[in-house]
Chains A and B, each alone.
Chain A
Protein backbone atom coordinates (compact mmCIF):
# COMPACT_ATOMS: atom_id res chain seq x y z
CA UNK A 1 0.00 0.00 0.00
CA UNK A 2 1.22 3.45 -0.96
CA UNK A 3 0.73 6.13 1.68
CA UNK A 4 0.68 9.84 0.92
CA UNK A 5 0.63 12.28 3.83
CA UNK A 6 -0.98 15.55 2.77
CA UNK A 7 0.46 17.39 5.76
CA UNK A 8 3.81 17.21 3.96
CA UNK A 9 2.88 16.48 0.31
CA UNK A 10 0.94 18.90 -1.95
CA UNK A 11 -2.39 17.74 -3.43
CA UNK A 12 -0.93 18.20 -6.91
CA UNK A 13 1.68 15.53 -6.18
CA UNK A 14 -0.98 13.13 -4.91
CA UNK A 15 -3.10 13.54 -8.02
CA UNK A 16 -0.06 13.35 -10.31
CA UNK A 17 1.06 10.10 -8.64
CA UNK A 18 -2.45 8.67 -9.05
CA UNK A 19 -2.60 9.73 -12.71
CA UNK A 20 0.70 8.00 -13.44
CA UNK A 21 -1.24 4.80 -12.74
CA UNK A 22 -3.27 5.36 -15.89
CA UNK A 23 -0.51 3.89 -18.06
CA UNK A 24 0.45 0.89 -15.96
CA UNK A 25 -1.00 0.25 -12.55
CA UNK A 26 1.84 -0.45 -10.15
CA UNK A 27 0.03 0.41 -6.91
CA UNK A 28 -3.53 -0.82 -6.44
CA UNK A 29 -4.02 0.49 -2.91
CA UNK A 30 -3.49 4.04 -1.76
CA UNK A 31 -3.83 5.61 1.65
CA UNK A 32 -4.16 9.38 1.99
CA UNK A 33 -3.57 10.80 5.46
CA UNK A 34 -4.23 14.32 6.84
CA UNK A 35 -6.62 15.45 4.07
CA UNK A 36 -7.81 18.22 6.44
CA UNK A 37 -10.54 19.42 4.09
CA UNK A 38 -8.24 19.99 1.11
CA UNK A 39 -9.92 20.36 -2.28
CA UNK A 40 -9.78 18.20 -5.42
CA UNK A 41 -8.44 15.03 -3.83
CA UNK A 42 -8.19 11.97 -6.08
CA UNK A 43 -9.87 13.60 -9.08
CA UNK A 44 -9.85 12.28 -12.63
CA UNK A 45 -8.79 8.72 -11.80
CA UNK A 46 -9.34 6.24 -14.59
CA UNK A 47 -7.94 2.93 -13.38
CA UNK A 48 -9.24 0.40 -10.89
CA UNK A 49 -7.18 1.58 -7.96
CA UNK A 50 -8.44 1.92 -4.41
CA UNK A 51 -7.91 5.16 -2.47
CA UNK A 52 -8.66 5.50 1.24
CA UNK A 53 -8.85 9.08 2.48
CA UNK A 54 -8.42 9.14 6.25
CA UNK A 55 -10.42 12.21 7.26
CA UNK A 56 -12.58 15.01 5.90
CA UNK A 57 -12.18 16.06 2.26
CA UNK A 58 -12.89 19.46 0.71
CA UNK A 59 -14.52 20.39 -2.59
CA UNK A 60 -14.89 18.05 -5.58
CA UNK A 61 -13.26 14.99 -4.04
CA UNK A 62 -13.24 11.99 -6.43
CA UNK A 63 -14.60 14.10 -9.28
CA UNK A 64 -14.74 12.58 -12.79
CA UNK A 65 -13.95 9.15 -11.35
CA UNK A 66 -13.66 6.14 -13.65
CA UNK A 67 -13.16 2.61 -12.32
CA UNK A 68 -11.51 3.64 -9.04
CA UNK A 69 -12.86 2.90 -5.56
CA UNK A 70 -12.47 5.94 -3.33
CA UNK A 71 -13.44 5.86 0.34
CA UNK A 72 -13.62 9.02 2.43
CA UNK A 73 -13.39 8.17 6.14
CA UNK A 74 -15.03 11.44 7.16
CA UNK A 75 -17.22 14.16 5.67
CA UNK A 76 -16.99 15.31 2.06
CA UNK A 77 -17.23 18.91 0.88
CA UNK A 78 -19.15 20.38 -2.05
CA UNK A 79 -19.50 18.27 -5.20
CA UNK A 80 -18.13 14.91 -4.10
CA UNK A 81 -17.98 12.44 -7.04
CA UNK A 82 -19.13 15.17 -9.41
CA UNK A 83 -19.38 13.85 -12.96
CA UNK A 84 -18.35 10.33 -11.96
CA UNK A 85 -18.35 7.94 -14.95
CA UNK A 86 -17.91 4.59 -13.21
CA UNK A 87 -16.41 3.06 -10.10
CA UNK A 88 -17.36 3.54 -6.46
CA UNK A 89 -17.17 6.50 -4.11
CA UNK A 90 -18.05 5.85 -0.47
CA UNK A 91 -18.42 8.72 2.02
CA UNK A 92 -18.41 7.29 5.54
CA UNK A 93 -19.60 10.57 7.04
CA UNK A 94 -21.90 13.22 5.55
CA UNK A 95 -21.60 15.06 2.26
CA UNK A 96 -22.10 18.73 1.49
CA UNK A 97 -24.22 20.07 -1.36
CA UNK A 98 -24.23 18.85 -4.99
CA UNK A 99 -23.00 15.35 -4.16
CA UNK A 100 -22.80 13.27 -7.34
CA UNK A 101 -23.77 16.21 -9.56
CA UNK A 102 -24.04 15.28 -13.26
CA UNK A 103 -22.59 11.81 -12.58
CA UNK A 104 -22.99 9.46 -15.54
CA UNK A 105 -22.26 6.10 -13.93
CA UNK A 106 -20.86 4.25 -10.95
CA UNK A 107 -22.12 4.20 -7.37
CA UNK A 108 -21.92 6.93 -4.73
CA UNK A 109 -22.64 5.79 -1.17
CA UNK A 110 -23.08 8.35 1.59
CA UNK A 111 -23.48 6.82 5.05
CA UNK A 112 -24.62 10.09 6.66
CA UNK A 113 -26.64 12.97 5.24
CA UNK A 114 -26.21 14.77 1.92
CA UNK A 115 -26.79 18.53 1.63
CA UNK A 116 -28.81 20.47 -0.90
CA UNK A 117 -29.02 19.46 -4.57
CA UNK A 118 -27.75 15.91 -4.10
CA UNK A 119 -27.65 14.29 -7.55
CA UNK A 120 -28.42 17.54 -9.39
CA UNK A 121 -28.61 16.83 -13.13
CA UNK A 122 -27.85 13.17 -12.50
CA UNK A 123 -27.08 11.46 -15.81
CA UNK A 124 -26.96 7.76 -14.97
CA UNK A 125 -25.06 7.12 -11.74
CA UNK A 126 -26.60 5.58 -8.63
CA UNK A 127 -26.56 7.40 -5.31
CA UNK A 128 -27.51 5.72 -2.04
CA UNK A 129 -27.76 7.94 1.02
CA UNK A 130 -28.03 6.41 4.49
CA UNK A 131 -29.36 9.62 6.04
CA UNK A 132 -31.35 12.52 4.59
CA UNK A 133 -30.90 14.73 1.54
CA UNK A 134 -31.33 18.51 1.33
CA UNK A 135 -33.60 20.60 -0.83
CA UNK A 136 -33.79 20.34 -4.63
CA UNK A 137 -32.17 16.93 -4.73
CA UNK A 138 -32.16 15.35 -8.19
CA UNK A 139 -33.09 18.71 -9.75
CA UNK A 140 -33.25 18.01 -13.50
CA UNK A 141 -32.15 14.41 -12.96
CA UNK A 142 -31.95 12.73 -16.34
CA UNK A 143 -31.07 9.10 -15.61
CA UNK A 144 -29.83 6.89 -12.78
CA UNK A 145 -31.26 6.24 -9.32
CA UNK A 146 -31.25 8.10 -5.98
CA UNK A 147 -32.04 6.14 -2.82
CA UNK A 148 -32.65 8.05 0.41
CA UNK A 149 -33.00 6.05 3.63
CA UNK A 150 -33.85 9.19 5.64
CA UNK A 151 -35.92 12.22 4.63
CA UNK A 152 -35.84 14.50 1.59
CA UNK A 153 -35.98 18.32 1.73
CA UNK A 154 -38.07 20.73 -0.32
CA UNK A 155 -38.65 20.42 -4.06
CA UNK A 156 -37.43 16.85 -4.46
CA UNK A 157 -36.95 15.97 -8.12
CA UNK A 158 -37.80 19.42 -9.44
CA UNK A 159 -38.03 19.41 -13.27
CA UNK A 160 -37.15 15.75 -13.25
CA UNK A 161 -36.53 13.79 -16.44
CA UNK A 162 -35.91 10.06 -16.00
CA UNK A 163 -34.03 9.61 -12.72
CA UNK A 164 -35.85 7.23 -10.35
CA UNK A 165 -35.98 8.30 -6.71
CA UNK A 166 -36.68 6.07 -3.70
CA UNK A 167 -37.26 7.67 -0.29
CA UNK A 168 -37.93 5.84 2.97
CA UNK A 169 -38.67 8.84 5.18
CA UNK A 170 -40.73 11.96 4.67
CA UNK A 171 -40.53 14.25 1.65
CA UNK A 172 -40.91 17.90 2.60
CA UNK A 173 -42.26 18.80 -0.82
CA UNK A 174 -42.10 17.54 -4.38
CA UNK A 175 -40.67 19.79 -7.06
CA UNK A 176 -42.33 20.73 -10.29
CA UNK A 177 -43.41 17.70 -12.36
CA UNK A 178 -42.23 15.19 -9.73
CA UNK A 179 -44.87 12.72 -8.52
CA UNK A 180 -45.14 9.65 -6.35
CA UNK A 181 -45.36 6.47 -8.41
CA UNK A 182 -46.35 2.90 -7.70
CA UNK A 183 -43.72 0.47 -6.44
CA UNK A 184 -43.94 -2.45 -8.82
CA UNK A 185 -42.02 -5.71 -8.51
CA UNK A 186 -39.28 -4.47 -10.84
CA UNK A 187 -38.74 -1.42 -8.62
CA UNK A 188 -38.54 -3.49 -5.44
CA UNK A 189 -35.99 -5.65 -7.16
CA UNK A 190 -33.99 -2.66 -8.34
CA UNK A 191 -34.10 -1.04 -4.87
CA UNK A 192 -33.14 -4.28 -3.13
CA UNK A 193 -30.14 -4.62 -5.39
CA UNK A 194 -29.07 -0.99 -4.75
CA UNK A 195 -29.43 -1.28 -0.97
CA UNK A 196 -27.49 -4.53 -0.97
CA UNK A 197 -24.74 -3.06 -3.07
CA UNK A 198 -24.51 -0.06 -0.74
CA UNK A 199 -24.51 -2.31 2.31
CA UNK A 200 -27.63 -0.85 3.93
CA UNK A 201 -29.92 -3.16 5.86
CA UNK A 202 -33.23 -1.47 5.03
CA UNK A 203 -36.57 -2.99 4.08
CA UNK A 204 -37.22 -2.08 0.41
CA UNK A 205 -40.98 -2.34 1.01
CA UNK A 206 -40.86 0.68 3.33
CA UNK A 207 -39.70 3.03 0.54
CA UNK A 208 -41.80 5.13 -1.80
CA UNK A 209 -40.91 5.77 -5.41
CA UNK A 210 -40.92 9.18 -7.09
CA UNK A 211 -40.45 10.06 -10.70
CA UNK A 212 -41.30 12.43 -13.50
CA UNK A 213 -44.90 13.09 -14.52
CA UNK A 214 -43.39 13.91 -17.92
CA UNK A 215 -45.62 16.93 -18.36
CA UNK A 216 -42.91 19.54 -18.28
CA UNK A 217 -40.26 18.40 -20.68
CA UNK A 218 -42.31 17.43 -23.70
CA UNK A 219 -42.11 20.70 -25.54
CA UNK A 220 -45.04 21.25 -27.88
CA UNK A 221 -44.48 23.65 -30.71
CA UNK A 222 -48.13 24.70 -30.53
CA UNK A 223 -47.39 26.16 -27.11
CA UNK A 224 -44.33 28.12 -28.26
CA UNK A 225 -46.10 31.44 -27.79
CA UNK A 226 -46.49 30.69 -24.09
CA UNK A 227 -42.73 30.56 -23.46
Chain B
Protein backbone atom coordinates (compact mmCIF):
# COMPACT_ATOMS: atom_id res chain seq x y z
CA UNK B 1 0.00 0.00 0.00
CA UNK B 2 0.94 3.60 -0.58
CA UNK B 3 -1.07 6.79 -0.66
CA UNK B 4 -1.07 9.27 -3.50
CA UNK B 5 -2.70 12.66 -3.62
CA UNK B 6 -2.86 15.56 -6.05
CA UNK B 7 -4.42 19.00 -6.05
CA UNK B 8 -4.66 21.08 -9.20
CA UNK B 9 -6.07 24.58 -8.77
CA UNK B 10 -8.33 26.00 -11.44
CA UNK B 11 -8.97 29.17 -9.47
CA UNK B 12 -5.76 31.26 -9.20
CA UNK B 13 -7.13 32.98 -6.11
CA UNK B 14 -6.50 29.78 -4.16
CA UNK B 15 -2.80 29.61 -5.10
CA UNK B 16 -1.67 31.27 -1.87
CA UNK B 17 -3.41 28.46 0.05
CA UNK B 18 -2.11 25.51 -1.97
CA UNK B 19 0.12 24.12 0.78
CA UNK B 20 -2.51 24.66 3.49
CA UNK B 21 -5.17 22.87 1.43
CA UNK B 22 -2.80 20.06 0.49
CA UNK B 23 -1.15 19.26 3.83
CA UNK B 24 -4.26 17.60 5.36
CA UNK B 25 -4.61 15.55 2.16
CA UNK B 26 -1.09 14.19 2.50
CA UNK B 27 -1.46 13.57 6.24
CA UNK B 28 -4.75 11.70 5.72
CA UNK B 29 -2.78 9.10 3.74
CA UNK B 30 -0.40 8.34 6.63
CA UNK B 31 -2.16 5.02 7.31
CA UNK B 32 -1.42 3.97 3.74
CA UNK B 33 2.24 4.90 3.91
CA UNK B 34 4.10 5.80 7.10
CA UNK B 35 7.63 5.05 5.81
CA UNK B 36 8.38 8.17 3.83
CA UNK B 37 6.63 10.99 2.06
CA UNK B 38 7.26 13.64 -0.53
CA UNK B 39 5.64 16.08 -2.85
CA UNK B 40 6.21 17.99 -6.06
CA UNK B 41 4.91 21.55 -6.05
CA UNK B 42 4.52 23.73 -9.12
CA UNK B 43 4.66 27.52 -9.19
CA UNK B 44 7.13 30.37 -8.73
CA UNK B 45 8.23 29.88 -12.34
CA UNK B 46 11.55 31.12 -13.62
CA UNK B 47 11.64 33.08 -16.89
CA UNK B 48 12.79 31.51 -20.15
CA UNK B 49 16.53 31.01 -20.22
CA UNK B 50 16.59 30.25 -16.49
CA UNK B 51 16.24 26.87 -14.85
CA UNK B 52 15.15 25.88 -11.36
CA UNK B 53 16.72 22.95 -9.51
CA UNK B 54 15.79 21.40 -6.19
CA UNK B 55 18.83 19.95 -4.45
CA UNK B 56 18.81 17.84 -1.34
CA UNK B 57 21.61 16.75 0.94
CA UNK B 58 21.77 13.84 3.34
CA UNK B 59 23.35 16.05 5.98
CA UNK B 60 21.23 18.69 7.70
CA UNK B 61 24.06 21.19 8.15
CA UNK B 62 25.35 21.10 4.61
CA UNK B 63 27.36 24.20 3.64
CA UNK B 64 25.15 25.41 0.82
CA UNK B 65 26.68 28.93 0.75
CA UNK B 66 30.08 27.62 -0.22
CA UNK B 67 28.62 25.39 -2.93
CA UNK B 68 26.54 28.24 -4.36
CA UNK B 69 29.61 30.50 -4.45
CA UNK B 70 31.64 27.83 -6.22
CA UNK B 71 28.81 27.16 -8.67
CA UNK B 72 28.46 30.84 -9.52
CA UNK B 73 32.20 31.05 -10.18
CA UNK B 74 32.25 27.92 -12.29
CA UNK B 75 29.22 28.76 -14.44
CA UNK B 76 29.74 32.53 -14.57
CA UNK B 77 26.01 33.14 -14.44
CA UNK B 78 23.41 34.85 -12.29
CA UNK B 79 22.16 32.68 -9.47
CA UNK B 80 19.41 32.91 -6.88
CA UNK B 81 18.78 30.40 -4.13
CA UNK B 82 17.05 29.73 -0.84
CA UNK B 83 17.22 26.80 1.53
CA UNK B 84 14.35 24.82 3.01
CA UNK B 85 15.36 22.29 5.69
CA UNK B 86 17.88 19.93 4.02
CA UNK B 87 16.96 21.14 0.53
CA UNK B 88 17.80 24.10 -1.63
CA UNK B 89 15.85 25.66 -4.47
CA UNK B 90 18.31 27.07 -6.94
CA UNK B 91 17.50 29.34 -9.87
CA UNK B 92 20.14 29.73 -12.55
CA UNK B 93 20.53 31.71 -15.73
CA UNK B 94 22.25 28.72 -17.27
CA UNK B 95 21.90 25.60 -19.34
CA UNK B 96 20.71 22.40 -17.61
CA UNK B 97 23.60 20.25 -18.80
CA UNK B 98 26.24 22.76 -17.69
CA UNK B 99 24.54 23.03 -14.30
CA UNK B 100 24.37 19.25 -13.86
CA UNK B 101 27.99 18.81 -14.91
CA UNK B 102 29.18 21.52 -12.53
CA UNK B 103 27.18 20.04 -9.65
CA UNK B 104 28.50 16.53 -10.31
CA UNK B 105 32.03 17.87 -10.19
CA UNK B 106 31.70 20.28 -7.26
CA UNK B 107 29.30 18.35 -5.04
CA UNK B 108 28.71 14.73 -6.09
CA UNK B 109 27.11 14.10 -2.66
CA UNK B 110 24.29 16.50 -3.39
CA UNK B 111 21.24 15.00 -5.08
CA UNK B 112 19.32 16.77 -7.84
CA UNK B 113 15.67 16.10 -6.94
CA UNK B 114 14.05 18.00 -9.77
CA UNK B 115 14.80 20.32 -12.62
CA UNK B 116 12.57 22.55 -14.72
CA UNK B 117 11.03 25.99 -14.77
CA UNK B 118 8.29 25.37 -12.22
CA UNK B 119 8.73 22.11 -10.28
CA UNK B 120 10.20 21.66 -6.80
CA UNK B 121 10.42 18.13 -5.35
CA UNK B 122 10.89 17.71 -1.62
CA UNK B 123 10.88 14.36 0.16
CA UNK B 124 12.22 12.43 3.08
CA UNK B 125 11.97 9.41 5.33
CA UNK B 126 9.59 9.24 8.26
CA UNK B 127 6.00 10.12 8.99
CA UNK B 128 4.27 12.44 6.52
CA UNK B 129 3.49 14.89 9.35
CA UNK B 130 7.19 15.25 10.19
CA UNK B 131 8.11 15.80 6.55
CA UNK B 132 5.32 18.35 5.99
CA UNK B 133 6.49 20.24 9.05
CA UNK B 134 10.16 20.06 8.10
CA UNK B 135 9.50 21.73 4.75
CA UNK B 136 6.76 24.09 6.06
CA UNK B 137 4.36 22.62 3.50
CA UNK B 138 1.30 24.46 4.83
CA UNK B 139 2.82 27.85 3.99
CA UNK B 140 3.69 26.97 0.39
CA UNK B 141 2.10 28.65 -2.60
CA UNK B 142 1.68 27.35 -6.11
CA UNK B 143 -0.67 26.23 -8.85
CA UNK B 144 -0.67 22.47 -8.30
CA UNK B 145 0.97 19.77 -6.24
CA UNK B 146 1.17 15.99 -6.10
CA UNK B 147 2.31 13.94 -3.16
CA UNK B 148 3.01 10.45 -1.93
CA UNK B 149 3.11 8.54 1.33
CA UNK B 150 5.09 5.33 1.06
CA UNK B 151 4.68 1.85 2.48
CA UNK B 152 7.81 0.25 1.10
CA UNK B 153 7.41 -2.94 -0.92
CA UNK B 154 9.78 -3.05 -3.87
CA UNK B 155 12.87 -1.52 -2.29
CA UNK B 156 14.31 -0.33 1.01
CA UNK B 157 13.10 2.64 3.01
CA UNK B 158 15.55 5.31 1.92
CA UNK B 159 15.25 8.89 0.80
CA UNK B 160 16.03 7.73 -2.74
CA UNK B 161 13.20 5.25 -2.58
CA UNK B 162 10.64 7.84 -1.60
CA UNK B 163 8.48 9.50 -4.21
CA UNK B 164 7.90 11.60 -6.28
CA UNK B 165 10.34 10.57 -8.96
CA UNK B 166 11.23 13.17 -11.53
CA UNK B 167 10.78 11.95 -15.08
CA UNK B 168 12.26 14.92 -16.89
CA UNK B 169 11.99 18.67 -16.91
CA UNK B 170 8.98 19.74 -14.84
CA UNK B 171 7.59 16.20 -14.92
CA UNK B 172 7.19 13.85 -12.03
CA UNK B 173 5.35 10.71 -11.11
CA UNK B 174 3.95 9.11 -7.96
CA UNK B 175 2.85 5.50 -7.87
CA UNK B 176 0.64 3.27 -5.79
CA UNK B 177 1.08 -0.37 -6.72
CA UNK B 178 3.83 -2.66 -7.88
CA UNK B 179 5.28 -3.35 -11.30
CA UNK B 180 6.04 -6.95 -12.16
CA UNK B 181 8.32 -6.36 -15.16
CA UNK B 182 10.50 -3.59 -13.74
CA UNK B 183 13.74 -5.60 -13.75
CA UNK B 184 13.61 -6.35 -17.44
CA UNK B 185 12.40 -2.86 -18.30
CA UNK B 186 15.25 -1.39 -16.26
CA UNK B 187 17.77 -3.35 -18.32
CA UNK B 188 16.20 -2.19 -21.56
CA UNK B 189 16.10 1.42 -20.42
CA UNK B 190 19.72 1.22 -19.25
CA UNK B 191 20.70 0.10 -22.74
CA UNK B 192 18.94 3.21 -24.03
CA UNK B 193 21.14 5.32 -21.79
CA UNK B 194 18.85 6.03 -18.85
CA UNK B 195 20.42 6.13 -15.41
CA UNK B 196 19.02 4.69 -12.21
CA UNK B 197 19.75 5.56 -8.60
CA UNK B 198 17.62 2.93 -6.87
CA UNK B 199 16.18 -0.57 -7.22
CA UNK B 200 12.70 0.95 -6.98
CA UNK B 201 10.04 -0.11 -9.50
CA UNK B 202 8.57 3.39 -9.62
CA UNK B 203 11.87 4.81 -10.76
CA UNK B 204 11.58 2.44 -13.74
CA UNK B 205 8.14 3.86 -14.56
CA UNK B 206 9.54 7.38 -14.27
CA UNK B 207 12.51 6.50 -16.49
CA UNK B 208 10.17 4.87 -18.97
CA UNK B 209 8.19 8.09 -19.33
CA UNK B 210 11.41 10.09 -19.59
CA UNK B 211 12.46 7.85 -22.46
CA UNK B 212 9.13 8.10 -24.28
CA UNK B 213 9.07 11.88 -23.94
CA UNK B 214 12.65 12.05 -25.17
CA UNK B 215 11.55 10.03 -28.20
CA UNK B 216 9.09 12.81 -28.99
CA UNK B 217 5.87 11.45 -27.47
CA UNK B 218 3.32 13.84 -26.08
CA UNK B 219 2.35 13.11 -22.47
CA UNK B 220 -0.78 11.37 -23.75
CA UNK B 221 1.21 9.23 -26.18
CA UNK B 222 3.77 8.36 -23.50
CA UNK B 223 1.00 7.23 -21.16
CA UNK B 224 -0.59 5.19 -23.95
CA UNK B 225 2.72 3.39 -24.42
CA UNK B 226 3.04 2.95 -20.66
CA UNK B 227 -0.30 1.14 -20.55
CA UNK B 228 1.07 -1.37 -23.05
CA UNK B 229 4.58 -1.80 -21.68
CA UNK B 230 4.23 -1.59 -17.91
CA UNK B 231 3.04 -4.82 -16.35
CA UNK B 232 1.62 -4.90 -12.85
CA UNK B 233 -0.60 -2.83 -10.65
CA UNK B 234 -0.48 0.91 -10.71
CA UNK B 235 -2.32 4.08 -10.09
CA UNK B 236 -0.12 6.97 -11.22
CA UNK B 237 -0.49 10.67 -10.58
CA UNK B 238 1.72 12.68 -12.89
CA UNK B 239 2.63 16.33 -12.56
CA UNK B 240 3.52 18.49 -15.54
CA UNK B 241 4.33 22.19 -15.81
CA UNK B 242 0.84 22.84 -17.16
CA UNK B 243 -1.22 20.42 -15.13
CA UNK B 244 -1.57 16.89 -13.98
CA UNK B 245 -2.74 13.46 -15.04
CA UNK B 246 -4.12 10.33 -13.42
CA UNK B 247 -3.97 6.85 -14.89
CA UNK B 248 -4.72 3.33 -13.62
CA UNK B 249 -3.74 -0.06 -14.98
CA UNK B 250 -6.35 -2.18 -16.83
CA UNK B 251 -7.05 -4.35 -13.76
CA UNK B 252 -7.53 -1.25 -11.59
CA UNK B 253 -6.67 -2.98 -8.33
CA UNK B 254 -5.14 0.10 -6.81
CA UNK B 255 -7.68 2.60 -5.60
CA UNK B 256 -8.18 6.15 -6.78
CA UNK B 257 -10.86 8.76 -6.39
CA UNK B 258 -11.23 12.09 -8.18
CA UNK B 259 -13.15 15.20 -7.20
CA UNK B 260 -13.78 18.26 -9.32
CA UNK B 261 -15.29 21.65 -8.54
CA UNK B 262 -15.08 25.01 -10.32
CA UNK B 263 -12.06 25.79 -8.15
CA UNK B 264 -9.97 22.62 -8.31
CA UNK B 265 -9.41 19.03 -9.33
CA UNK B 266 -8.29 16.77 -6.50
CA UNK B 267 -7.12 13.17 -6.61
CA UNK B 268 -6.39 10.71 -3.83
CA UNK B 269 -6.06 7.00 -3.12
CA UNK B 270 -9.01 7.31 -0.78
CA UNK B 271 -11.81 9.78 -0.23
CA UNK B 272 -10.57 10.46 3.31
CA UNK B 273 -7.87 12.69 1.83
CA UNK B 274 -10.44 14.84 0.03
CA UNK B 275 -12.93 15.18 2.89
CA UNK B 276 -11.53 18.48 4.20
CA UNK B 277 -11.39 20.38 0.90
CA UNK B 278 -13.64 23.43 0.59
CA UNK B 279 -16.85 22.74 -1.33
CA UNK B 280 -16.22 18.98 -1.41
CA UNK B 281 -19.87 18.32 -0.52
CA UNK B 282 -20.90 19.83 -3.86
CA UNK B 283 -17.98 18.38 -5.86
CA UNK B 284 -18.35 15.78 -8.59
CA UNK B 285 -16.70 12.73 -7.03
CA UNK B 286 -15.93 9.64 -9.10
CA UNK B 287 -13.62 6.68 -9.43
CA UNK B 288 -11.34 6.79 -12.49
CA UNK B 289 -11.90 3.99 -15.00
CA UNK B 290 -9.21 1.36 -15.61
CA UNK B 291 -6.74 2.02 -18.45
CA UNK B 292 -8.14 5.49 -18.91
CA UNK B 293 -6.26 8.76 -18.91
CA UNK B 294 -7.44 11.81 -17.05
CA UNK B 295 -5.49 14.94 -17.91
CA UNK B 296 -6.01 18.54 -16.79
CA UNK B 297 -3.90 21.26 -18.32
CA UNK B 298 -3.72 25.00 -18.08
CA UNK B 299 -4.62 26.45 -21.47
CA UNK B 300 -2.56 29.62 -21.21
CA UNK B 301 0.80 27.89 -20.75
Binding site for B on A (CB under 8 A): 36-38, 55-56, 58-59, 75, 77-78, 93-94, 96-97, 115-116, 134-135
Contacts and interface: CB of A to CB of B under 8 A. Distances in A.
Contact of B270 (A77, A93, A135): A77
B290 A37 contact: no
Contacts of B281: 55
Interface stretch (B12-20, B58-66, B194-202, B271-279): B271-279
B110 interface: no
B255 A96 contact: yes
A116 B274 CA distance: 22
B272 A37 contact: yes
A-B complex: 9 closest residue pairs judged by Cβ atoms: A37-B271, A36-B275, A37-B272, A56-B271, A115-B287, A116-B252, A37-B275, A96-B287, A75-B285
B253 to A, nearest CB: 8
A1 B276 CA distance: 27
B81 interface: no
Contacts of B275: 36-37, 56
A164 B289 CA distance: 25
Interface in B121-160: none
B271 A75 contact: yes
Given A58-B270, A97-B287, 15 more contacts: A37-B273, A38-B272, A56-B275, A56-B285, A75-B257, A75-B285, A94-B286, A96-B257, A96-B287, A97-B252, A97-B255, A116-B251, A116-B290, A134-B290, A135-B252
Interface in B262-301: 270-276, 281, 285-287, 289-290
Contacts of A93: 285
A97 B252 CA distance: 9
7 contacts: A37-B275, A59-B270, A77-B255, A96-B257, A115-B252, A135-B252, A135-B290
A2 B300 CA distance: 52
Interface of B: 251-252, 255, 257, 270-276, 281, 285-287, 289-290
Contacts, number: 45
A78 B252 CA distance: 12
A155 to B, nearest CB: 11
B291 to A, nearest CB: 10
Contacts of A55: 281
Most chain B Cβ neighbours within 10 Å, of A38, A59, A115:
A115
Give the dominant DSSP class at A's interface.
loop
B255 A78 contact: yes
Contacts of B276: 36
Contacts of A77: 255, 270-271
Nearest to B28: A37
Most chain A Cβ neighbours within 10 Å, of B274, B276, B287, B290:
B287
Contacts of A96: 255, 257, 287
A74 B285 CA distance: 10
B69 to A, nearest CB: 50
B159 to A, nearest CB: 30
A75 B252 CA distance: 18
Contacts of B274: 37
B268 to A, nearest CB: 9
A93 B283 CA distance: 13
A134 B286 contact: no
B252 A58 contact: no
A35 to B, nearest CB: 9
A79 to B, nearest CB: 11
B161 to A, nearest CB: 26
A40 to B, nearest CB: 12
Contact of A37 (B251, B270, B286): B270
A134 B287 CA distance: 11
Nearest to B274: A37
B166 to A, nearest CB: 30
A131 to B, nearest CB: 11
A36 B271 CA distance: 7
A190 B105 CA distance: 76
Contacts of A116: 251-252, 290
A59 B274 CA distance: 15
B265 to A, nearest CB: 17
Contacts of A134: 252, 289-290
A90 to B, nearest CB: 18
Contacts of B272: 36-38, 58
A55 to B, nearest CB: 8
A59 B271 CA distance: 10
A56 B286 CA distance: 11
B207 to A, nearest CB: 29
Nearest to B276: A36
